[in-house]
Amino acid sequence: MNPRVRWNCVGCGVPLEAEATEAASPCPRCAAANPWEPSEEVRSGGRLDQCAVCGRREIYREKSVNRALGLGVVIVAAALAPFTFYISLGVAAVIDALLYAFLPERGVCYLCRAEYRGFRGIPELGKFDLHVAQVMTRHTWPPAPVEKA
């Protein structure tokens, strides 16, 4: 899997995605020039030393979980619980644990919420830190109104 970065457009919020080696291109919806300055480490798909979108170094790792799928499993299990003598809740817990164990991890920027998938350096990142997240709320993203191309 090629290293890919996903973020939201600073102009209109539409999800954008690019490979780490690609050059920046304007948003297809609003034509805003999104910030894009990946470091050499990020371009090579290696260590995530800084965010390619906002330039911050605060990036954490998390499981790449499809939240809708996880929630769907729990809802179905809860709906079936009275009819299965609540065994479906245990089955849902096992399914959830298996999904969590086998799903890949991704890197996420604390400030702009850009997601990094397929990078070799993701296991080196720290897990989510609430203190860092609270400190990052002092910063705003996007930093200023965006010019349209």
| Percent of the chain at pLDDT exceeding 90 | 68
Furthest CA-CA distance within the chain = 60
CA distances from 104 to 1, 3, 26, 116, 122 (A): 11, 13, 29, 11, 10
Mean pLDDT across 22-27:
84
Per the structure block, which two tokens stand in for 97? Answer: 């644990």
User: What is the model's pTM?
Assistant: 0.85
The answer to whether 47 and 121 are in contact (CB under 8 A) is yes
Q: What is the pLDDT of residues 73-99, one digit of tens each?
A: 999 999 999 999 999 999 999 999 999
Residue 101: exposure state from Cβ atoms within 10 A (0-12, 13-18, ≥19): exposed
Domain boundaries along the sequence of the chain: 1-64+105-149, 65-103
Run of H or E residues at 95: helix 87-102
Mean residue pLDDT of the chain comes to: 91
